[in-house]
Amino acid sequence: MVDGPTDAWLVRISVSVCVSGVPPDESSRRGGDYGPYVQSERLPLYSQTAAALLQTGHAYYCFCSNQRLDLLKREAQRSGHVPYDNRCRRLQPEQVQQRLAQGVPAVVRFKLASGAEPFQDMVFGWTRHEVAAVEGDPIILKADGFPTYHLASVVDDHHMRVSHVLRGSEWLISTAKHLQLFRALGWTPPAYAHLPLLLNRDGSKLSKRQGDIFIQRFREQGVLPETLLDLVTHAGSGFDNNRIGRRLEELVCEFNISKITTHSALLDLDKLHEFNRVHLQRRIEDEEKCAVLRDELRQRVLHTHGSQISDRAVLEPLYIQRVLELRKGHVCSLRELLNHMHVYLWIRPRVTRQQLQEVSAEAENIAAAVIQLVASGGSFESTEHLNTELKLIASRLKHTKYSGMMRVLRLALSAQQ
């Protein structure tokens, strides 16, 4: 994790990771054998590693001001030269000590070696990037003592005994730097697999600044963790075949890294509702998970309709369970059960006799017959059985067909035409 976290920030990050469908084995909240897990708590480890690189001559202090670096960058953009000229590499030891003694702000840069060796990526195969010729020496430790990603990732991967690094393909070029860092420290690097990027459906880059794609926003919309995971893996590659409804356990069993392609994947968020409908149904059909859904739906009902509920029976677990069973496969989230189309489930509808008679002059006869049917204590084991009984009632009506009778019932029970 990055520097400067607050407790609330850590909780938010931890919750987001879990909501994404891939809960961590270890973290700042869960603990583990390879902590600490917050970057600011690992600063001594990074500074010790930077000091070791300085001692062996693989790194050096750089005192260049931000103004000079900005000028170099602009000149590089204009002329196509390397954006940093490695000037501080050539400082004599006494010059370095003098500036440090004077308190001149300094960063630590890693000396890139020319003639980068090729390496084998598990997705892109053998590749080689001559970073020294195009970038200049990278900063590995900032003036405030915090590491850049280059140093932090190498140190963390080594000390946490990471065997495989799977990350976005935008880091493929930087891997050449990281491998040089591993060699300079005498450490064995992990295996690398750089994954194709996710793009919007129109091919534009999926930016983390797009508010609608923040995990927390999905959570507020009622999107389940397994839905997000299923949608993302469905958009990409790494499987022999794609199908909707896979959970983490199934994805783990079916994943094949050799099936990952190098081209970017299009993420179609319009399919989110379809995926969530499938996973919501699976949760409803799971006794343990459905109990959690019942509690969540009850809280949502109280929050949305609490002051208007006259019959508290709608808050009972058995009633909520029946609602979930009846609407599974039809709704894509619990939120849908609270919209205007489903208000009748929680609040007794108000419909006048005149409104019913406008649909059918036999509305009172229909209501009386249906009330008698329910009062008779008949067991309606299925919708088919209930429909059969209702069709018998319709057959005894003089001027109203079955479809008209059903419109009367719909209006009476839901206040909807």
Residues 6+ apart with CB under 8 A from 235: 198, 265, 266, 267, 268
Is the four-CA dihedral 184, 187, 191, 196 of positive or negative sign?
negative
* All structural domains of the chain with their residue ranges: 38-193, 200-277, 285-345, 353-414
Tokens representing 399 are: 């001027």
Is residue 72 within 8 Å of residue 86, measured between CB atoms? no
Q: In what order do the strands lie in the sheet with 107-110?
A: 59-62, 107-110, 139-141
The low-confidence residues of the chain, meaning pLDDT below 70, are 1-16, 18-20, 207-213, 378-381
Report pLDDT digits (tens) over 374-413.
888 766 667 888 889 999 999 999 889 999 999 999 999 9
Is residue 160 within 8 Å of residue 168, measured between CB atoms? no
Q: Could you give the CA distance from residue 27 to residue 252 in angstroms, rounded to a whole number?
A: 21
pLDDT value at residue 9: 60
Q: Could you give the CA distance from residue 49 to residue 122 in angstroms, rounded to a whole number?
A: 28
Can you tell me which residue has the tokens 């249906």?
A: 370
Out of 3.40.50.10490, 3.30.360.10, 1.10.1160.10, 3.50.50.60, which CATH number does the structure's domain 200-277 have? Answer: 1.10.1160.10
Q: Which residues pair with 195 in a beta bridge?
A: 168
pLDDT value at residue 99: 97
pLDDT value at residue 376: 85
pLDDT value at residue 374: 87
Helices (H) and strands (E) in the chain, counts: 16, 9
pLDDT value at residue 8: 67
How is domain 38-193 classified at the CATH fold level? Rossmann fold (3.40.50)
Q: Could you give the CA distance from residue 173 to residue 153 in angstroms, rounded to a whole number?
A: 15
